[in-house]
Structure 1
Amino acid sequence: MIRIKLTERQGKAETLLAEGHAGYAEMGQDLVCAGVSCITIGTNNALDELAPGTFQTETREGYLKIRILNLDDPTAQLVLRTAWIQLQTIAESYPEFIKLKKQEV
């Protein structure tokens, strides 16, 4: 199961955390894992290109955490919100393999 959490502070996206493995199919054949990986890595790359210096990333096997440092940066907010919407789309199609949680901190 992939668990995704979006934390917000004062209504602004602060952290996107993705961890786990979907278990939809064997390694190398898992469309759910591939989709989530594309979205999260693409989000990191988009932030790096469009809003450099506004975020920190922590990665390891089965884990990606993106933290927005400047919550007032509109580009960083747009990129993270777009990722959340894309992840919701996958979760709607594969609810037994990906769980989303949004939390105000």
Structure 2
Amino acid sequence: MIEIKIQRKNDKIVHFEIRGHANSSEYGQDIVCAAISSVSQMTLNGLLEVLKFKNLKYEEKEGYIICDLENSDLTEDEREKAFILTESMYKYIEEVAKAYKKYVKLTIKEVGK
């Protein structure tokens, strides 16, 4: 199962963690895993390669991505741009999680104001 934890502060994503594998099909045929991997990689690459965030706190390895926007040294403008990417990622993940409840667990937590 893929476990996705999203933290929001003032309705904006400040932290996300994605771990595990869906195991909904054999390796290379798993559309659930491919969907979540693609959208999370696209978001992280957007933050790093398109927006060129130099001070982003993140970790990425096989079956695991964590991104800590809250504790990254970002300007207010960078935070607003990150919001667009992360909210787009969230909307996609939300739909995948609804369609594939057996394989994706999505948890959203509101943190300090």
TM above 0.5, one fold?
A: yes
Alignment of 1:59 with 2:65, yes or no, is no
For residues 2-51 of structure 1, the C-alpha deviation after alignment (integer angstroms, 9 at most, x for no partner) is 01011122332111110011010011110000000000000001111125
Map residues 6-85 of structure 1 onto 2, 5 A cutoff.
6-48=6-48, 49-50=50-51, 52-53=53-54, 55-68=56-69, 69=72, 70=74, 72=76, 73-85=79-91
TM-score when normalising by structure 1:
0.90
Give the AA of the match of 1:6. I
Alignment of 1:4 with 2:4, yes or no, is yes
What is residue 92 of structure 1 aligned with on the other side?
98
What is residue 110 of structure 2 aligned with on the other side?
104
Give the AA of the match of 1:74. E
Uncovered stretches (5+) of structure 2, i.e. residues with no partner: none
User: Residues 71, 43 of structure 1: CA spacing in aligned structure 2 closer, same or farther, 3 A cutoff?
Assistant: same
Give the AA of the match of 1:84. Y
Quote the sequence identity (%): 30
Taking the aligned partners of 1:50 and 1:81, their CA distance within structure 2 comes to: 15
Taking the aligned partners of 2:15 and 2:75, their CA distance within structure 1 comes to: 10
Uncovered stretches (5+) of structure 1, i.e. residues with no partner: none
Give the AA of the match of 1:65. I
Q: When the two structures are aligned, how many residues end up with a matched partner?
A: 105
Give me the CA root mean square deviation.
Answer: 1.6
